[in-house]
Amino acid sequence: MDVGLLGNKIGMTQIFDESGNIIPVTILKVGPCVITQIKTIAKDGYDGIQIGYKNILSKSLNQPQLGHLQKSNIQPLKYLKEFRVVKNHDFEIGQVLTVDKLSLGQLVNIQGKTIGKGFAGLQKRHNFTRGPMTHGSKNHRAPGSIGMGTTPGRVLPGKKMAGQLGNKITTVKKLKVIQFNLQENILVVKGSVPGKPGNLLSIVSSK
């Protein structure tokens, strides 16, 4: 598969293989995706295609977004994403991509936004050890020292401190395709994927 697909996470469950072993799996609703634009080196400086996913009402898009899709006679789509492709490809505008691009046993990389957990402290965010809870200690979950004194007289960049936890784009690599349903556009992969149910995901073949 030269290009990726877009889909939504449905949830997790478990299935049994032929030997009776339990396999934790994630169920995804993938596609159908429509190719909305083809980019070339001559015009755009690189070869790639843009795909769209999830039909919506035209009033949900602004005029530039709607005009971009109407130029190619494509229905309004909620999500658009680009993928790089090789120069001599056979993709066409309006072509529909579904889970039949994948095969059983194939390894895929799935990218999505993790669950946001808000402002978190050091123990939860970075697995710091807490201080003593007794004997008059006043350092239970405090950060402690954050740097040297006069030299360099500042906090070095990258210091692990409290802050936003989650809500970041992350990729889980080499998840095995266990099952797929062409009629319902369902994909079942082994293991967990980022985010909560309903999260938008990008699925590409693992190199």
The answer to whether 106 and 205 have CB atoms below 8 angstroms apart is yes
For the cut 80, the answer to whether the pLDDT of residue 1 exceeds it is no
Tell whether the torsion through CA atoms of 29, 31, 168 and 69 is positive or negative: negative
Q: What is the pLDDT of residue 124?
A: 96
Backbone angles phi, psi at 94, to 5 degrees: 95, -10
* pLDDT bracket for residue 18 (50, 70, 90): confident
Mean pLDDT of the chain: 92
Which tens digits make up the pLDDT trace of 178-190? 998 989 999 999 9
**Contact yes or no for 4/200 (Cβ under 8 A):** no
87: left (phi over 0), alpha (psi -120 to 50) or beta: alpha
pTM to 2 decimal places: 0.84
Give Dmax (Cα) for the chain.
73
- CA 143/CA 149 separation, integer angstroms: 16
Domain positions in the chain are 5-130+160-205
Q: Which residue has the higher pLDDT, 1 or 47?
A: 47
Q: What 3-state class would DSSP assign to 16?
A: strand
Q: Which amino acid is at 66?
A: L
The pLDDT value recorded for residue 17 is 87
pLDDT at 13: 95
Burial class (CB in 10 A: 0-12, 13-18, 19+), 99: buried
**5-130+160-205, CATH topology level:** Elongation Factor Tu (Ef-tu); domain 3 (2.40.30)
For residue 2, the model assigns a pLDDT of 62
Tens digits of residue pLDDT in 79-138? 999 998 887 788 889 899 999 888 898 999 999 999 999 999 999 999 999 999 999 999
Three-state secondary structure of 37-100? EEECHHHHCCCEEEEEEEECCHHHCCHHHHHHHHCCCCCCEEEEEEEECCCCCCCCCCCEECHH
The tens digit of pLDDT for each residue in 47-88 reads: 899 999 999 998 999 999 999 999 888 999 999 999 988 877
